[in-house]
Amino acid sequence: MFTLEGSALNSPLAETVSVLLLVAVLAWAVLRPFGWPEAVLAVPAAGLAIATGIISPEHAWQEVERLGPVVGFLAAVLVLAHFCDVEGLFHACGAWMARRAAGSPGRLLTAVFVLASAITAVLSLDATVVLLTPVVFVTATRMGVPAKPHAYASAHLSNTASLLLPVSNLTNLLAFAASGLSFTRFAALMALPWLVAIAAEYLVFRRFFARELLEVAPSPEPAEAPTLPVFALVTVGCTLAGFVVTSAVGVEPAWAALAGALVLAGRALLRRQDTPLGVVRAASPAFLAFVLALGVVVRAVVDNGLADGLRHLLPEGTGLAALLGIAVLAAVLANLINNLPAVLVLLPLTAAAGPGAVLAVLLGVNIGPNLTYAGSLATLLWRRIAHRHEHDVDLGEFTRLGLLTVPAALVPAVLALWASLWLVGV
């Protein structure tokens, strides 16, 4: 058995076993045998790492404590997004897209970009992947236009459009905690990179899918008028305002997210639109356990040498060249080991350099995963949803698109971040 004392923790054997555990956890998350949750292997792997001394109980508990508030925040946002769907928000989105497109696949692509960007930013990328993607498939089918460009847009924007707010992505929540920024300052710094990255994606999509976007539907079905779920929209608006207020007064924004989730969940329960068990399921407890367990496994890898290796590769400073180097390294690492482990590894190494370096990591781990299926859990989930709608995703095409969009979005986004840091004075 490995022990914390002596050299066992940093021995080649401990390093090898910790890496194998991480690879096994990620492979399970990618493949999900028998449809079982990611936590089925991740939790025992974390327990094994602790039991064998690869990671000390103290370090494991530190990691759980660090991730605890972030996981609580994630749970509240997932519940909020679920009950927005119960209120009819995503049905209204589908009606709006069809009405806006009026039979044109080009206009539908624009509508998908607008909605996916907004939903990802406000309700998190999970809402875009799980709730908006099926609506996109149904809308394209009813219009009689190719679904591929619009479905791919949903996948890409679940990553790229998650740059704006701390609540947009689990990676953002982790970076927000490490950056020391307020909610509003984080959003102010990321607004320009967010817009630039989305615009670059849009231009590449218009070019890459030029042929499909010319296939106008011969006789599109009349689109229904969207009915806005006012209560859900007001609740989301108040929740966003709550994020700003709680951040300004030094209170965890998770409390604002919890309040918004409780309002919508309580309304649904009173109207018998859902059950208490449905509320629990909406929070995805198995996925939350996976995040905590993955954090422990990643910390084991970091403790056993990965941090030292990456520290030599990270550029020093926060100049333009350094920010670009950090973002590229983060993008490469995200495609090698998935973006969530990548951000868990890189944040402790870059936090001391200031918020600029932390946000550069975020650009890499949010934009970079569009290159491969395994780059982010969101893309893996999107692929399963695409198969469920009998849409074959071609690996070669997905990769070719990623080879075009990732550099086209990442480089100008880093330039925009550098300019924002200079303008805001960070």
Q: How far apart are CA 411 and CA 390, in angstroms?
A: 35
Amino acid letter, 312: H
Q: To the nearest 10°, the Cα dihedral for 205, 207, 210, 213?
A: 30
Quick one: pLDDT band at residue 414, thresholds 50, 70, 90?
Answer: very high
Name the residue with higher pLDDT: 221 or 258. Answer: 258
Q: Is the pLDDT of residue 13 over 80?
A: yes
Residue 275 in tokens: 């059950």
pLDDT tens for residues 38-73? Answer: 899 999 999 999 999 899 999 999 989 888 888 888
pLDDT, mean of residues 319-326: 95
pLDDT, mean of residues 111-115: 96
Residues 6+ apart with CB under 8 A from 370: 155, 156, 159, 160, 379, 401, 402, 405, 406, 409
pLDDT for residue 221: 61
pLDDT for residue 220: 57
pLDDT for residue 10: 53
Q: Is the pLDDT of residue 6 over 70?
A: no
3-class SS of residue 176: helix
pLDDT, mean of residues 5-12: 52
Q: Is the pLDDT of residue 362 over 60?
A: yes
CA angle at 154 for the pair 25 and 264, rounded to the nearest 5°? 85
Name the residue with higher pLDDT: 283 or 407. Answer: 407
pLDDT, mean of residues 221-226: 66
Q: What is the CA radius of gyration of the chain?
A: 21
Quick one: pLDDT band at residue 301, thresholds 50, 70, 90?
Answer: confident
Q: Is the pLDDT of residue 373 over 50?
A: yes
Whether the CA torsion 119, 124, 125, 130 is positive or negative: it is: negative
pLDDT for residue 222: 61
pLDDT for residue 2: 35
Q: Is the pLDDT of residue 219 over 50?
A: yes
Q: Is the pLDDT of residue 365 over 50?
A: yes
Q: Is the pLDDT of residue 238 over 90?
A: yes
Cα dist. 352→18, 296, 312, 355, 404 in Å? 26, 22, 15, 8, 33
Single pTM value for the model: 0.84
Cα dist. 388→37, 91, 102, 147, 385 in Å? 17, 19, 26, 14, 5
Q: To the nearest 10°, the Cα dihedral for 378, 38, 176, 253?
A: 100
Q: How far apart are CA 204 and CA 196, in angstroms?
A: 13
